[in-house]
Amino acid sequence: MGIIPHTNRPRFAATQGFTLLELIVVLVIVILGFAAIGISISSGHDSTAIKTTARDIVSALRFARGEALMSHEETTITFDLENNSYTVSERERVYEIPEGVAVTVVTAQSELTGQGLGSIRFFPDGSSTGGRVTLEGKTAKWQIDINWLTGAAELNDLSDDEKN
């Protein structure tokens, strides 16, 4: 029989885990990642709220136009800029516009009824007084144009225009 050589067993490193410093670095990176996601989500909330409000107003405008056509009576949407809200004639409900959303209404002089109150009127033939409603926040801007001849409401995103 021959001589069996002594095999060197592999030596393990003095530490078999992570140091406290390495763990802290990983935790800081994870926290920064979550913070970036949180900022992204919160900034999207502003633009989402404005877009949702703009779509709700367009829906109310289309409803008012439809009511005027079906009932053969004038129908109005009145904006209360001091309270950031609007109402549809013949309805008691007040529709709130979220805080932080600045509203501007351009309408006929005859439809400015008081301090901070302005209306857009729809007539039985489908036409309207026409006008423009602009909703603006920190990160988004939407504009609703109401055609005076047809009463049609068109929604436009102006946020992209300002970036270019």
In the chain, pLDDT over 70 holds for what percent of residues? 83
Q: What is the DSSP letter of 109?
A: G
Residue-wise pLDDT for 67-81, tens only, equals 999 999 999 999 999
Contact 77, 64 (CB under 8 A): yes
* Cα distance between residue 56 and residue 77, in whole Å: 12
**Alpha-helical runs (H) found in the chain:** 20-71, 159-163
**pLDDT of 6:** 59
Residue-wise pLDDT for 41-53, tens only, equals 555 567 888 999 9
Domain 45-163 adopts which CATH fold?
minor pseudopilin epsh fold (3.55.40)
